[in-house]
């Protein structure tokens, strides 16, 4: 490749990276980034350099619905969130509270993708449906809860999550009031998590209904195929 052509390809790859990392869409439907999207797929040099750049930065690049999306790779502390980051953002103090939030996140995704081969099966979910799904997912442990106390189980175990969930009221809102995002109740926890996922561009929240965005669809349909996550298999089979 001639030096001038190589320089142009590198510039295009950097433009794609800059747009994605700043939260902009790189899409065939976006007038400002349509050319970048076309360059990525029509110019093999741009495609390869962009891929190498993402690999070096430990980022995952996916395509969905004629648009590009990125997410941090495993262990990426620069572009991703550490556990401490998430505890600070969500207003959490203890690891068990964070693991509860992780569990809610996975349950929300699995509501739409019951297995790694399936496409989205529902348009949206309601808060009550997600609450029921979490209850059902933790049900296998409910019979064992009487024999455990919080001090007797490992903080990282599913039993810790089940114990924490079981101790929470469904809601703390009074009659006619809306539940606020908080750690004070089950519905409060769900709202806390879904508000965060909405801020990350993964769900649109409308009157306690949660609509998955194209970003979530892209990441969900690619992540489980690429990673074959163990927690995904555990939640899918109910072996928690």
- For the cut 60, the answer to whether the pLDDT of residue 149 exceeds it is no
Q: Name which residue leads in pLDDT, 167 or 118.
A: 167
174-191 as b/e: b if 16+ CB within 10 A? eeeeebebebbbbbbbbb
What does the domain layout of the chain look like in residue ranges? 3-72, 83-237
Best CA proximity match to 46, nearest among 26, 22, 25 = 26
Helix (H) or strand (E) holding 206: strand 203-206
Q: Is the pTM of this model over 0.75?
A: yes
- For the cut 80, the answer to whether the pLDDT of residue 97 exceeds it is yes
On whether the CB atoms of residues 112 and 97 are closer than 8 A, the answer is: no
Helix (H) or strand (E) holding 232: helix 230-237
SS3 82: coil
Sheet (strand 209-212) strand order:
125-126, 209-212, 203-206
- Binning pLDDT at 50, 70 and 90, where does residue 75 land? confident
The whole-angstrom separation of Cα 228 and Cα 2 is 41
């Amino acid at each position: 490749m001639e030096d001038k052509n190589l320089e142009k390809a590198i510039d295009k790859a950097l433009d794609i990276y800059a747009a994605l990392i700043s939260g902009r869409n790189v899409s065939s439907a976006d007038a400002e980034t349509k050319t970048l999207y076309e360059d990525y797929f029509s110019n093999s040099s741009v495609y390869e350099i962009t891929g190498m750049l993402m690999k070096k930065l430990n980022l995952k690049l996916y395509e969905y619905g004629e648009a590009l999306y990125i997410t941090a790779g495993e262990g990426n502390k620069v572009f991703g969130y550490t556990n401490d980051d998430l505890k600070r953002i969500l207003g959490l103090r203890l690891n068990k509270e964070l693991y509860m939030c992780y569990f809610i996140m996975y349950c929300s995704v699995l509501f739409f993708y019951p297995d790694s081969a399936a496409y989205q099966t529902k348009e949206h979910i309601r808060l009550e449906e997600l609450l029921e799904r979490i209850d059902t997912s933790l049900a296998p442990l409910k019979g064992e809860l009487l024999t455990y106390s919080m001090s007797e189980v490992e903080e990282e175990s599913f039993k810790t999550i089940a114990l924490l969930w079981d101790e929470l009221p469904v809601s703390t809102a009074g009659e006619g009031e809306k539940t606020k995002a908080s750690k004070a109740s089950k519905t409060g926890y769900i709202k806390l998590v879904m508000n965060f996922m909405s801020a990350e561009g993964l769900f649109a929240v409308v009157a306690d209904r949660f609509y998955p965005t194209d970003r979530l669809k892209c990441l969900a349909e690619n992540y489980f195929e690429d990673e074959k996550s163990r927690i995904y298999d555990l939640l899918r089979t109910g072996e928690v």
